Structure 1
Amino acid sequence: MTTTTTAEDLFPTRLAQPSDFITRTQPAVWGSAGDGPFSATELETHERRGFTILDDFISSDDVALYSSELDRLASDTALQGDDRLIAERATGTVRSVFEVEKLSSALDALARDPKVLDLARQIVGSEVYLHQTRINYMPSFTGTGFYWHSDFETWHAEDGMPVPRAVSLSIALTDNYPFNGGLMVMPGSHRTFVPAVGETPDNNHEQSLQAQEAGVPSHAAITALADQYGIDQFTGAAGSALWFDSNIMHGSGNNITPYARSNVFMVFNSVENALVDPFAAKSPRPEHIANRDFTPLV
């Protein structure tokens, strides 16, 4: 089902002038221990820190399967010129491929696998749908990172996601070291929403998926959050997984090492948190970036 409507803006952003941080009142965990695989202790930790790392989340055979799909999509000539394929601005190499559940039956099955779906439902406390999927490539020597940001800020401003009742899953398909552009997170920062300054440019997604500029926090805001929450990093062997809150502040540096890094990224949003009209953009982003079919995954 697809709907478009309006809702109260609880997280004003893309403002003309800097504004105070907003303390979030919504939980990070909406379900309970009786709703799924996570224990009460694990849920409490996720609520407090805003993320959970699960080692050996998928098998080595699964890593090989999804890696082959990643390679296939990156080299698929049929995707050349397709809006779902995002290239690096400097080198032209593949940076991301979006809407992968529609391009790969294996990745579609992964999104529906009970070991994935049951955890997503437990965290958001309801049925879920896929807000966004992609595979990310960070090649050796030339891979560029993602500047500090909150995904929810963009999803709220440009997609119309009402509140941060979504959880992201990043599955490592290569070993994540501290030195090859691994994802950095600020534990606990999901409790704080940072309003951005500046209007959203028209068709901002055409530039932001290569290098995000609109909606990024200021240096002062990043410094204040880092001083308060500190910085942690997602490291681990291929097959490990990171579940993280939609509003947690995160980013990654460039990869100048010989060791490439790639991952599968899926966002599960509550069907009770369906998108409305964008809160700070003239029109919604394309559906391959922000899905507006809210049919529950089964």
Structure 2
Amino acid sequence: MLSAHDIGFYEKHGYLVLPGQFSAQETGLLLRETHRLSQLEIPQRILERDGEQVRSVYAVHRHSNAFDRFTRDLRNLEPARALLGSDVYIHQTQLNPKAPFQGDVWEWHQDYLYWQRDDGMVEPRALNVSVFLDEVTEFNGPIFIMPGSHRLALDDETRTAQDGWENTLTADIRHKITPDALRRLADSLGLVSIKGKPGTTVVFDGRLLHCSPPNLSGNLRSVIFIRYNSVDNPLRQIANPRPEWLASRDPKPLTALADPFATTIADVRSPV
């Protein structure tokens, strides 16, 4: 359960770091699933610009019993419920196994602008719960944030540079914040680099400005992102929405597991 201090910090800064949420056994299970999912030739697997290294795998909770249960573990679900003030459903899951020396950049962005413009999300009542499966260091692509930027509306300073939902997934992202705006915000808000051991959880607001540099180390950097949306904030109908595996349109509330997610896993094959 989050403390009053945790909630106050999140409301002020837009993020919260919770070390040691998951054990080595649990992250080890998810890393094995990361390797398996990275080998699947499915539309949800996105490659880096070299066409070889895996950049992301989306909708992992639909391809893995372990990740499906993980999204319903109370250690993930309860912070989302507490901070959003309602039951939640999964808007999106994304696994980023940033490859040694080849894992590419994620430019500065606010997730909510994508969810709003490309998915039809009405209000910013959604957040990220991200869990480090590997140790995240200063060298292998940590998450950079601008604290407090979740309180800012940057629609007028974000330009849509490319057509097509596919360009919401690549290193050359679709919606780009202007360099002048980024310079001004970095000067006024400062930057924080979030690092941590495997099992660390980082919760952050969907409007928080964040990015990730390339992996310049020889070590893999795997992070799983669960994007929870309030059940009171279903997506509106829009023209040409992104695929359902990128933006779920089923606001059915998630039911929490009674036990930790790995307790009763007999196999880790697809739940469907």
Tell me the TM-score normalized by structure 1.
0.82
Q: Determine helix, strand or coil for the equivalent of 1:272.
A: coil
Offset at residue 232 of structure 1 (A): 0.3
Aligned to 1:5: none
Assess if the C-alpha contact under 8 Å between 1:98 and 1:132 holds in 2. yes
Indicate which of 50, 57, 60 corresponds to 2:24: 60
Cα distance in 2 for partners of 1:91, 1:261 equals: 19
Assess if the C-alpha contact under 8 Å between 2:18 and 2:200 holds in 1. yes
Cα distance in 2 for partners of 1:147, 1:140 equals: 18
Offset at residue 277 of structure 1 (A): 2.9
Aligned to 1:38: 2
Task: Describe the superposition over 1:204-258 as per-residue Cα deviations: whole angstroms up to 9, x where unpaired.
Answer: 2223312243211010011111111110011011111100000000001111211
Alignment of 1:109-258 (within 5 A): 109-195=69-155, 196-199=157-160, 201-202=162-163, 204-258=164-218
In structure 1, what residue type is equivalent to 2:223?
N
Task: Describe the superposition over 1:152-176 as per-residue Cα deviations: whole angstroms up to 9, x where unpaired.
Answer: 0111111111111111011001111
Pair 1:70-2:31 in alignment: no
Pair 1:290-2:247 in alignment: yes
Offset at residue 201 of structure 1 (A): 4.7
- How many equivalent pairs are there? 254
Cα distance in 2 for partners of 1:58, 1:149 equals: 28
Cα distance in 2 for partners of 1:61, 1:289 equals: 29
Is the alpha carbon distance of 1:94 and 1:211 closer, same or farther for their aligned partners in structure 2, counting shifts above 3 Å?
A: same
Assess if the C-alpha contact under 8 Å between 1:277 and 1:283 holds in 2. no
Structure 1 stretches lacking a partner, 5+ long? 1-36
Cα distance in 1 for partners of 2:161, 2:186 equals: 26
Aligned to 2:52: 92
Task: Describe the superposition over 1:255-290 as per-residue Cα deviations: whole angstroms up to 9, x where unpaired.
Answer: 121122111110010011111134xxx411000001
Offset at residue 55 of structure 1 (A): 0.5
In structure 2, what residue type is equivalent to 1:254?
P
Cα distance in 1 for partners of 2:21, 2:96 equals: 18
In structure 2, what residue type is equivalent to 1:230?
G
Offset at residue 74 of structure 1 (A): 0.8
Aligned to 2:13: 49
Cα distance in 1 for partners of 2:21, 2:77 equals: 13
Cα distance in 2 for partners of 1:228, 1:199 equals: 25
Counting aligned pairs with the same residue, the percent is 35
Offset at residue 131 of structure 1 (A): 0.2
Cα distance in 1 for partners of 2:98, 2:136 equals: 11
Aligned to 2:263: none
Q: Determine helix, strand or coil for the equivalent of 2:176.
A: coil
Greater than 3 Å deviation, 4+ residue runs: 196-202
Deviates more, 1:207-216 or 1:124-133: 207-216
Assess if the C-alpha contact under 8 Å between 2:107 and 2:212 holds in 1. yes
Assess if the C-alpha contact under 8 Å between 2:159 and 2:177 holds in 1. no
Cα distance in 1 for partners of 2:106, 2:55 equals: 11
Tell me the TM-score normalized by structure 2.
0.90
In structure 2, what residue type is equivalent to 1:74?
S
